[in-house]
Chains A and B, each alone.
Chain A
Amino acid sequence: MKEYKNTGSKDTRSGFGAGLTELGKTNENVVALCADLTGSLKMDDFKENHPERFFQVGIAEANMIGMAAGMTIGGKIPFTGTFANFSTGRVYDQIRQSVAYSGKNVKICASHAGVTLGEDGATHQILEDLGLMKMLPGMTVINTCDFNQTKAATLAISEHNGPVYLRFGRPKVANFTPEDQKFEIGKAVKLYEGSDVTIIATGHLVWEAIQAAVELNEKGISAEVINIHTIKPLDEEAIIASAKKTGCVVTAEEHNFLGGLGESVARTLAENHPTPQEFVATQDTFGESGTPAQLMDKYGLNAAAIIKATEKVLKRK
């Protein structure tokens, strides 16, 4: 079984910051807007090196989204940065009308998504953002799993013409995808070939899915693991093909089971190849304060939860 090595834990938000730094050097049309969270979003380097292209808007996210939409008129590629909660729920109508419906080339970059935000608690731990964003016509929705993938995604979305929601997080997590990877929007990455079950994971749950697959292998269960960084457009072909092969599916995400990756996979399979599926996700609840590890455990968002879900879905085959 292939071994995925953690080359040194890093936060995904730093991957975004590294990507933005590179874009600052390579694409003069890239501009960045931030709502008083420059350090948290790792945008300091861009700000320092390209002050004329960095726009501090203050604690005014609605204005930030509207400005970003306007900045595209004249050819700029705006990247907005704030927490996921304030990037989506707080500004949903601004994104809907000024960005999505208006078809503007805005990149909404959102950190501190999910419960792994940790101690700040539920006011800041959005678990509904994927659903909110994937429902908007024309919106591309991406949730990256580690530093390298987040950096690659940041570069890739600058080349994509259209609105994008890029979701990442706060804690340091394993960095295991290749540094030189080519990030293809809408293309699933298969991490393990398997025959008994398909585990489809996104964001911080991808590393957990790898750990789960290794443990399952020791128990004699062959798990296929798919890293699905793009929630929309979903790589339906990869999902259907894998479900046909293994006959059962577990989805894993740091998001409410309503509206997230799991529902998109379920819809795809219901239409094309009905398959038993279990959902590793939060169960229509808010989060709370705690360490990321405690919260992942309490809300059933780790390798142990994936193994449990796998054992359950195997019985339904």
Chain B
Amino acid sequence: MPDINELQDFATQVRRDILRQVHKVNSGHPGGSLGCTEFFTALYQEVMEHNTNFNMDGKDEDLFFLSNGHISPVFYSVLARSGYFPVEELNTFRLIDSRLQGHPTTHEGLPGIRIASGSLGQGMSVALGAAQTKKLNKDKHIIYTLHGDGELQEGQNWEAIMYASGNKVDNIVSTIDLNGQQIDGSTETVLPLGNLKAKFEAFGWDVMEIEDGNDLQQVIDGLKEAKTRTGKGKPVCILMNTVMGHGVDFMMHTHAWHGKAPNDEQLETGLSQNPETLGDY
């Protein structure tokens, strides 16, 4: 099992991959990707039991569903560097004929992806279905999901949240990326989310928090803690505080880099703040 320094190096390399992917095609979503780098690193490198020999059915392994599909750059980087497909393929992000579509899809057969996402609010329902199938198959593995905080404005989430507790779907750990930002501004100004902890608890979930979702050790500990809370009759929610754009100083604490690529100069600045560790693709 890698030590924390190795995992930090992994995360730093992932940040470089994110910046280079979106810079090359002058499009994509770096802000949320950078903010969730520790989460993906912890999940795929430390927490999940998963097979890199990809099989759509995913029997006898933990599964992950990304609901806020626009943060595909971090997902692609971590999947590639976890062995799902060649790292060089990150060069094809958003290009014609690529398996690395703007938003993740099963359509082009990219290993590691089990559902298309991008149109927001659908991931939790899909994950609940997969969780129920795991139960029917007597498979004790866990379903992990990630959702944006702004994404919770989509009503389908609340249908799913209500279903999960009402039906004791307790083999799911859903993490909410609380970065407080969305395209048009802060979540507070666009449509306030209110007290999410109270809301999830009122809907019958076991809710825990990760105070700093950009502290790798905290994320690892939090995800491991969440896993111990599964199987106890309640779905588990992690409210994870992150900073959008984390790791690149000029991208932090603003919604401006939600869906905007850096120019050449900005790329160099961003990369200089994240020195190469595992080797660029």
Contact = CB atoms under 8 A, between A and B. Distances in A.
Contacts of B116: 97-98, 101-102
B58 A73 contact: yes
A37 to B, nearest CB: 16
B119 interface: yes
Given A66-B125, A73-B57, A102-B115, A60 B136 contact: no
Contacts of A67: 125-126, 128-129, 132, 160, 163
A93 interface: yes
A94 B155 CA distance: 12
Interface string A254-281: 0000000000000000000000000000
Contacts of A62: 121-122, 125, 155-156, 159
A101 B42 CA distance: 29
Nearest to B169: A67
A15 B57 CA distance: 31
Interface string A77-106: 010000000000000011011100111100
A63 interface: yes
Given A60-B163, A97-B122, A102-B105, A74 B134 contact: yes
A71 interface: yes
Contact of A69 (B58, B126, B131): B126
Q: Which of B125, B134, B155 has the most CB of A within 10 A?
A: B125
Contacts of A104: 115
A131 B132 CA distance: 32
Q: Which of A62, A63, A98 has the most CB of B within 10 A?
A: A63
B115 A69 contact: yes
Nearest to B59: A74
Interface string A230-271: 000000000000000000000000000000000000000000
Given A73-B57, A73-B58, A101-B107, A63 B133 contact: no
B106 A66 contact: no
Nearest to B139: A74
Q: Which of B58, B65, B119 has the most CB of A within 10 A?
A: B119
Contacts of B105: 101-102
Interface residues of A, number: 32
B133 A66 contact: no
Interface stretch (A50-58, A179-187, A297-305): A50-58
B125 A74 contact: no
Contacts of B123: 66
A187 B179 CA distance: 53
A31 interface: yes
B34 interface: no
A97 B163 contact: no
B117 interface: yes
Given A69-B129, A98-B126, A102-B105, A31 B136 contact: yes
Contacts of B136: 31, 52-53, 74, 76
A70 B129 CA distance: 4
A75 interface: yes
A139 to B, nearest CB: 14
A143 B134 CA distance: 33
Contacts of A58: 159, 162-163, 166
A127 interface: no
Contact of B117 (A55, A71, A74, A97): A97
Contacts of B231: none
B56 interface: yes
Nearest to A70: B129
Interface in B128-158: 128-134, 136-137, 139, 155-156
A57 B118 contact: no
A102 B106 contact: yes
B94 to A, nearest CB: 17
Given A60-B163, A62-B159, A63-B160, A98 B125 contact: yes
B163 A63 contact: yes
A18 interface: no
A98 B117 CA distance: 7
Nearest to A65: B125
A57 B160 CA distance: 9
19 contacts: A52-B136, A55-B132, A63-B125, A63-B159, A64-B125, A66-B125, A67-B126, A67-B128, A67-B163, A70-B125, A70-B129, A70-B131, A73-B56, A73-B57, A73-B63, A74-B137, A75-B133, A93-B119, A101-B116
Interface of B: 56-59, 63, 65, 105-107, 114-119, 121-134, 136-137, 139, 155-156, 159-160, 162-163, 166-167
Top 6 closest pairs, chain A to chain B, by CB? A66-B125, A70-B129, A74-B133, A67-B129, A60-B159, A63-B159
Given A67-B163, A74-B139, 13 more contacts: A63-B125, A65-B125, A70-B115, A71-B129, A71-B130, A73-B56, A73-B63, A73-B130, A73-B133, A94-B156, A97-B117, A98-B126, A102-B106
Interface of A: 31, 52-53, 55, 57-58, 60, 62-76, 78, 93-94, 96-98, 101-104
